A = this chain, B = another copy of it.
Amino acid sequence: MVDVAKAAGVSLATVSAAVNGSAPVSAALKGRIHKAIRQVGYKTNAIARSLKTGTTSTIGLMVADITNPFFTTTIHAIQELAHRHGYGVMLCCSDEDADKERMHLRLLADRMVDGFIVASAGETPELRALVEGGRTPVVLIDRLVDGLETDAVVIDNVAATRDAVRHLAAAGHRRIGLITGRRTLSTGRERYEGYRQALEEAGIAFEPALVGSARFGADDGYKAAAKLLSLADRPTAIFACNNLSGIGLMRAIHDAGLRCPDDIAVACFDDFDWANVFHPRLTTVAQPTQAIGVQAMLLLLERLKDATARALPPRVVRLKAELRVRDSSVRPAR
């Protein structure tokens, strides 16, 4: 920049003012300066600017599983919006591991990101300190964390699961199995609660044996499903609480020599492109993945751009998910 100033025959301060529009500069000088910029091949150094201004125009995005199509669409929406507002996105993935999460949170804090969007894999001191410190805005997505008072965008998991299980019950199923996710996550707890509510509504007694738990991934889902399917009095319908356990469930059904939906009805959380293409076409709970990302980024942008908004009390946005009934949950007429 000092080179530009020299080349244009003006002072450093004037160049800065011209580049940032922070002070009025005469048109003539502006022209000379911009010409000099091109001549010298000057590029603004964001690092130096950050050091001075204390802002990096970068946000930290922390998700639990980047491989999951659910997060993928959300990430995409966040990025789009962030870039439109001049923010870069530094992405980290905890792989559902709280220890990794705290490491990455530290990495992001060191890099002085201006704000965080996080789908937490579990409460950590780092996350709590971040929120309670109040220096950097944090928006939670997908999962709430107990006692963390900060902005968040989640869906109504209780209602979503209740709807899905109610749909199964309405189709005449009385033995409805559940494959839950981790109970340490708010999503896991809420979806479990939705299941129980739907059973109660339908006057079906809760049976612990019909609830399997898949903490991680498709393999866990497979095992949990296989166990349910090997029950003497096996369920006639199963709801899987995320798309990974849904994969495991479908594989287990296939391996057990059963057919879906003829022998067993299936519905699961999280819709994806292929769900509507293959057989059986899968009944899913579709989350508004895009809207989650957009909302989260909007909340964050408010806190970032507007100094007065930083003092606002935490806002929790709860979006609705949509049940998409397809073939897998509906027994064909005989």
Contact = CB atoms under 8 A, between A and B. Distances in A.
Nearest to A53: B47
Contact of A79 (B46, B72, B88, B91): B91
B277 A250 contact: yes
Interface residues of A, number: 48
Contact of A109 (B43, B50, B73): B43
Contacts of A279: 278-280
Contact of A67 (B51, B76, B276): B76
Given A247-B273, A251-B277, A90 B92 contact: no
* Main DSSP-derived SS at the A contact region: helix
Contacts of A282: 278
A107 B93 contact: no
Interface string A189-225: 0000000000000000000000000000010000000
A39 interface: no
Number of copies of chain A assembled together = 2
Given A47-B50, A279-B279, A83 B92 contact: yes
**A91, A92, A254: residue with the most chain B Cβ atoms closer than 10 Å:** A91
A250 B278 contact: yes
A88 B103 CA distance: 11
A58 interface: yes
Given A58-B111, A89-B91, A251-B276, 11 more contacts: A44-B110, A46-B111, A46-B112, A47-B47, A47-B111, A66-B72, A67-B73, A83-B104, A88-B111, A89-B90, A89-B92
